[in-house]
Structure 1
Amino acid sequence: MSSNKINKKSIARIAAVQAIYQNILQNNDDMDDIMQNVLSFYRNDSSITNLTGNLKISLSISHFKILVKSVFENINKLDEIIDNHLTNDKDPAHMPILLRALLRAGIYELLFYPTTPAKVVINEYTDIANDMLNGYEIGFVNSVLDTIAKEKNKIS
């Protein structure tokens, strides 16, 4: 019988996007509080079982915490990178919150996790985008992350 288990880092990435999204939505600078709220959801077996049936979900807490804290510490640089990849007719203030949260996490991993291949990061965040965003936004995530991976040495 095959196991219905998802990679712990994949779940950590999803949870990180959720925490970053919550930070933007609530305009809450207390990332420790936000991280604890997100972690409590993933630790609560009943809430996850109700959503997933028999799928086994656990996350890499260390990857989650490092990613969220690092994004928060580098938020201005990440937003500058995101805004520089918008076309001239796009106003950064009108970017959907979830799209910005996902790009912040993906760009951070591309630039500052040298042991994770760019292709893995791009695929992971494109998959997350596929589950959370619409068609245009999915393509935008893929395009921005791919461009940043190619420009990585100039940016970081």
Structure 2
Amino acid sequence: MSDAKPQSLKAVMDQLNAETGAKPLTQRDKRARTVARLVLVQALYQMEITGTGVETVVREFADHRFDTDLEGEPLAQADEAFFGEGARAVVREQGVIDPLITHRLASGWRLERLDTTVRAILRAGTWELKFRPDIGLEVVINEYVEIARAFFGETEARFVNAALDGVAKDVRK
């Protein structure tokens, strides 16, 4: 995966079509899953910055944030169940998730040194890789790389790609 060329959102959506082992998702469901991943990263960021609990954040996003994006524009429908599952699982399984990420950081680096948003992206991606084997690893990695690219650019996207690719090698043997 680390040698893969950046893919467009359409290419990521096409890969979602190729998933096996799970009930095929419709194009609308795939888009909703993509939006849920983005919102999950935003929620994890918010929880870490504010110290707000997961149930409060899940409720806040369900009540107020699924209708618009950060700039107040209408947001595509999110898979709210997937978002809620992810938020709760990342918090519950953080003791498993964080060491998996740390194992893939450069020697001497601590997870706390990473940007908060990058940490949120890696935690969400690692949750899916470890705890959602029904979702193709290429789909997971590509979607979170695209999220990293949207927030930062190529350097962080390549970092996320390498880290998640390493986690995938550790958990999807």
Q: Does 2:37 align with 1:13? A: yes
Residues 45-89 of structure 1, C-alpha deviations (whole Å, 9 max, x = no match): xx689535xxx6000111110011001101122111112211124
CA distance in 1, matches of 2:60, 2:172: 35
Q: Quickly say closer, same or farther: Cα 1:140–1:48, change in 2 above 3 A.
A: closer
Unaligned runs of 5+ in 1: none
CA contact (8 A) 1:11 1:58 kept: yes
Q: Quickly say closer, same or farther: Cα 1:50–1:22, change in 2 above 3 A.
A: closer
The one of 8, 27, 47 equivalent to 2:51 is: 27
CA distance in 2, matches of 1:97, 1:7: 25
Normalised to the residue count of structure 2, the TM-score between the two structures is: 0.75
Instruction: Note the 1:1-150 alignment, pairs <5 A.
Output: 7-28=31-52, 30-39=53-62, 40-43=64-67, 50-51=72-73, 57-150=76-169
For the residue of structure 1 that corresponds to 2:109, the secondary structure is coil
**How many angstroms does 1:125 deviate by?**
0.6
Normalised to the residue count of structure 1, the TM-score between the two structures is: 0.83
Q: Which structure: greater helix fraction?
A: 1
Letter in 2 for 1:27: G
CA distance in 1, matches of 2:172, 2:70: 40
CA contact (8 A) 1:48 1:57 kept: no
Work out which structure has the larger RCO, using CA pairs closer than 8 Å and 6 or more positions apart in sequence: 2
CA contact (8 A) 1:129 1:138 kept: yes
CA distance in 1, matches of 2:40, 2:113: 22
> Which has the higher mean CA deviation after the structures are superposed, 127-136 or 59-68?
127-136
CA contact (8 A) 2:40 2:86 kept: yes
Give the CA RMSD over aligned residues. Answer: 2.1
For the residue of structure 2 that corresponds to 1:109, the secondary structure is helix
For the residue of structure 2 that corresponds to 1:78, the secondary structure is helix
**How many angstroms does 1:114 deviate by?**
1.2
Unaligned runs of 5+ in 2: 1-27
Q: What percent of counterpart residues are identical?
A: 27
Residue in 1 that maps onto 2:15: none
Letter in 2 for 1:19: A
> How many residues of Structure 1 are paired with residues of Structure 2 in the alignment?
144
CA contact (8 A) 2:32 2:76 kept: yes
